[in-house]
Amino acid sequence: MSKLKLPGERLDLVERRVKRIAIVCAIIAALCGIARCGRAGEAALLWCAYDQSMLAPALELGRTRAVVEVLNPADGPGAQRDIAYGAHVTKARALRNLRLVGYIDLVTWRGDNWTVKNVAQINRERELWHTLYGIVDYWLDDCFSDQPCIRALVGGVSWGTKGRSFANAGDTVPSGHWLRTSGFAVCDYEDDPPRNGWTKCKGPCVILFATAQTWRQRAREAQQRGATIIGFEDVSRHHNGDFQRPFSWWTQLK
C-alpha cells in the first residue's frame, strides 16, 4: 500500500517530474538542431565558389547537407561588394547547414611566377571580407608549405578566427610540418587513384579527384581516415581550368 503524500510532498514530486520532462525536451531539441546541421555520420561538403555558376548549387546543396563554401568573387573579396555574391551571402545565411569562408591568395601571380604578399595586403583583404560580406573565416590559397616566406607571412598576421579557417597548400602536407601545427585546418589533395595512398593525409579537410561512379567510395575511405570536410573534382578535367564551374554530377552530392 503506497504511503499517503502530504500536499507539499506532492508538489515537490510534480516539480521534479516537470524538470525531468524539461531536460528530456532540451536534449531532443539539441539533437534535432544537430541533425539540421548535416546528416548523421556524413562529412561536410567543401564547395569552392570561384565562379557565379557555383552559387546556386551551393544553396541547393546547403538545404540537405552541411556545406563549407569558399567564396571568391574577384580573386579575393574585391574592392567593392559584388552584386551576385552579395545576394548569395544573404540567402546563404538563412541556411544553418551552410558556412561561408572568404578566399585569400597569399601570393600575387604574374604568369607562372609569384611573389608573396605582405602583412598589410593580407590585413586589407581581411578587412574587405568583413566590411563587404561580414565574413571573418578564410581560405588561405597558395599556402606553399615549403616556402619560408609563406611561413613568415602566416605567422606575421594576427588571425582572429584561425581555428575556423583553412590553409590550402595545393598538395599533401606531411605530419609534423609547421603548417599542421599552425592552427589552420589543412586541406589535402588526393588523385584518383590516390597518388600516395592515405599515409600523408592527416588533416580534417581533403579534396578528392573522383568520378560520378567513384565519389561515394572515395568519400567513405576519406572519412575512415578522419576527414570531416570533403570536396570533389571530376578526374576527367584534372587541372584543365574547368574546376571553376560545377561538374556534371554535382546533384548526386545532395
Residues 43 and 31 in one domain: no
Q: Name the pLDDT band for 163 (thresholds 50, 70, 90).
A: confident
Residues 6 and 68 in one domain: no
Residues 55 and 181 in one domain: yes
pLDDT > 60? residue 128: yes
Output 107 or 169, whichever has higher pLDDT.
107
17-21, 28-32, 147-151, 185-189: which has the minimum mean pLDDT? 28-32
Query: What's the pLDDT at 127?
Result: 97
Residues 105 and 2 in one domain: no
Residues 217 and 228 in one domain: yes
For residue 235 the three cell numbers come to 578526374
Average pLDDT over all residues of the chain = 83
Residues 24 and 127 in one domain: no
CB 89 within 8 A of CB 143: no
Residues 135 and 157 in one domain: yes
Output 42 or 58, whichever has higher pLDDT.
58
Distance CA 244, CA 105 (A): 16
Q: Tell me how many domains the chain contains.
A: 2
Distance CA 125, CA 201 (A): 29
Residues 78 and 141 in one domain: yes
Distance CA 186, CA 203 (A): 6
Residues 24 and 43 in one domain: no
CB 186 within 8 A of CB 179: yes
Domain with 2, as residue range(s), is 1-36
Residue 97 Cα to chain centre, angstroms: 11
Residues forming beta bridges with residue 104, ordered by sequence position:
140
Tell me the CATH number at 148: 3.20.20
Residues 22 and 114 in one domain: no
**Taking the CB of residue 104, how many other CB atoms lie within 10 A of it?**
24
**pTM across the whole model:** 0.81
Rounded alpha-carbon distances, angstroms, from residue 151 to 85, 106, 147, 182: 31, 11, 7, 9
For residue 98 the three cell numbers come to 551552410
Distance CA 219, CA 35 (A): 20
Query: What's the pLDDT at 47?
Result: 97
**Taking the CB of residue 145, how many other CB atoms lie within 10 A of it?**
20
Q: pLDDT by residue (tens digit) across 218-253?
A: 899 889 888 999 999 998 876 556 668 899 999 999
Residues 155 and 212 in one domain: yes
**Taking the CB of residue 110, how many other CB atoms lie within 10 A of it?**
8
Helices (H), 93-208: 119-128, 148-156
